[in-house]
Chain A
Amino acid sequence: MTGSGQPSAVSRQQEMLTPELQAVLIRKLTALADDEIILAHRDGEWTGHAPILEEDIALANIAQDELGHATLYLDLRRALDGSDSDRLAFFRDAGEFTNVRLVELPKGDWAFTMLRQFLFDAYEALWLDAARGSTYAPLAEVAAKAVREERFHLQHTALWVERLALGTEESRRRTQNALNELWPHVAQLFDPVLGEAELVAAGIVPDLGEVRVRWEGFVVPHLTGKCGLLLPMTLAEVAEGRDVHTEHLAPLLAEMQGVARQHANAEVW
């Protein structure tokens, strides 16, 4: 996942960050990247198994895009602390990953996969849209680049959720079940990392509360109005942080990291 050298604008920008802000930014970038890596892996599990060939290709493309976004975030982190993206992705254990629990849940059926991706795409597209205005120019650039792909993902998954919800009785039932199962997990997307308020105050990252308002303004009408789904009663609040995972993450990592760990000295795998 190593990219090319960073533009000198990064080093100029990072000099403007206090050590405290740098530490929080590193934590935030890692959390953003971890969400993308784990979700990409879950999407990748459909490769060769999606309902039709065209969707197999489409979801693999989405997974690659998400991994690409993770690379962008980890490159930003590398510019701050010199960390190695590949080691972060392939040699950390479940306890060290900081993804939200939403993305690590097993892939489920197609309705579950499309609905999860829709909920995440809407969050990511709106977060990136706001992050284009970051006072930290390297992040603003990354957001401007990634938001284009994310808008397209959102179109794709919004279309699928609508068709599944309004399709057959079976597809409606499965979509509603997926919503019931996923909804309690979405609040964690809007749970800031430790110290994030300082990044927000410095204009470096968007305020998650504002993103959440926009997210609900988009997602809720789509699910209930357009798709006729029933929203579970409340958006549950988050009781535990990004260091607490379900039992599903460790097996995912075992598979995702297997080759890298078996051939730790390989230059290319």
Chain B
Amino acid sequence: MTQPQPTPDTQWPRWEVFKQDAPNRPWQAVGSVHAGDPDHALLTARNVFARRPSAVSLWAVRESDILTATPEEIAARPEVLETPGEAGTYHLGLKRTHKRSMTFVDLVGTLEASGPGDALRQARELHPDALTWLVFPESAVVRTSDDPGTVESWFAPAKDKTYKQQQYYGVIGRRVGELKREGKMPGRVNEEPHVGDHKVYDHPHDRAPKVQR
């Protein structure tokens, strides 16, 4: 009964990053990083997800500590509600809409559960209309420190920085336009609007027709 040797996975583990924009706002899932350990995950998360937008706190949770499910997945595999694990406090995240392209899950609170499956079952009872439920134990969370020194060096610099507005990049396009009018550029260059002048990404669901009820 020898199994073929699996190719060793040399990737560092994946960590889901949750960002709090301001006090009294929920932590929101903003994406993931790969990192070798919790401290590295947080440091990288700061660079990737909190360099410009305002933030006051970051959490990182190892992906393997998170249990997620959609209603369809639970219907197909109800045994996910039996997923064993440690009893204790679980954080609960919900995805409620497809509309937003950047933020998929808000953390909405905690509950006491006998394991991840139980936490998921409770999540489904409390929020039956969610598109996705996400649970992870409190013990799996690594957090940025709340001390003023950390907040100042991790998050304060971003407050002074703003995104460069997209139309700023149009300056380059205008420059090309000037050169073109002076006959110094080939005719076809820049006749299409510069991609930076426009919204680049349209989420398919933004265009979906409204369902008549």
Which residues of A are at the interface with B, using a C-beta cutoff of 8 A?
A: 52-55, 57-58, 61-62, 65, 145, 148-149, 151-152, 155-156, 159, 163, 266-268
Contacts and interface: CB of A to CB of B under 8 A. Distances in A.
Given A151-B149, A151-B153, 8 more contacts: A52-B12, A61-B51, A62-B47, A148-B152, A148-B156, A152-B154, A163-B36, A268-B175
Interface of B: 12, 33-37, 39-40, 43-44, 46-48, 51, 149, 152-154, 156-157, 160, 171-172, 175
B40 A149 contact: no
Contact of B47 (A54, A151, A159, A266): A54
Contact of A52 (B34, B149, B157, B175): B34
Contacts of B12: 52
**Max chain A Cβ within 10 angstroms of own Cβ: one of B12, B36, B152, B153:** B153
B190 to A, nearest CB: 15
Nearest to A62: B47
B104 to A, nearest CB: 19
Given A54-B34, A58-B48, A268 B40 contact: no
21 contacts: A52-B12, A53-B34, A54-B34, A54-B44, A57-B44, A57-B47, A58-B43, A61-B47, A61-B51, A148-B156, A148-B157, A149-B153, A151-B149, A152-B46, A152-B153, A152-B154, A155-B153, A159-B40, A163-B37, A163-B40, A268-B171
A155 B156 CA distance: 16
Given A52-B34, A148-B152, A58 B160 contact: no
B17 to A, nearest CB: 10
Contacts of A151: 149, 153
Nearest to A152: B153
Contacts of B153: 148-149, 151-152, 155
Give 10 closest A-B pairs by Cβ, nearest first: A58-B47, A151-B153, A54-B44, A152-B153, A148-B153, A61-B47, A54-B33, A149-B157, A156-B43, A148-B157
Nearest to A147: B153
A110 to B, nearest CB: 14
Nearest to B46: A152
Nearest to B171: A268
Main secondary structure of the interface of A (DSSP, over half): helix
A268 B35 CA distance: 38
A143 B40 CA distance: 27
A58 B44 contact: yes
B175 A266 contact: yes
B172 A268 contact: yes
A268 B171 CA distance: 8
A149 B157 CA distance: 7
A20 to B, nearest CB: 34
Contact of B35 (A54, A61, A267): A54
Q: Which of A54, A148, A155 has the most CB of B within 10 A?
A: A54
Nearest to A155: B43
Nearest to A54: B44
B160 to A, nearest CB: 7
A58 B35 CA distance: 12
Contact of A55 (B44, B149, B152): B44
A70 B41 CA distance: 29
B125 to A, nearest CB: 37
Contacts of B35: 54
Contacts of B40: 159, 163
B31 to A, nearest CB: 10
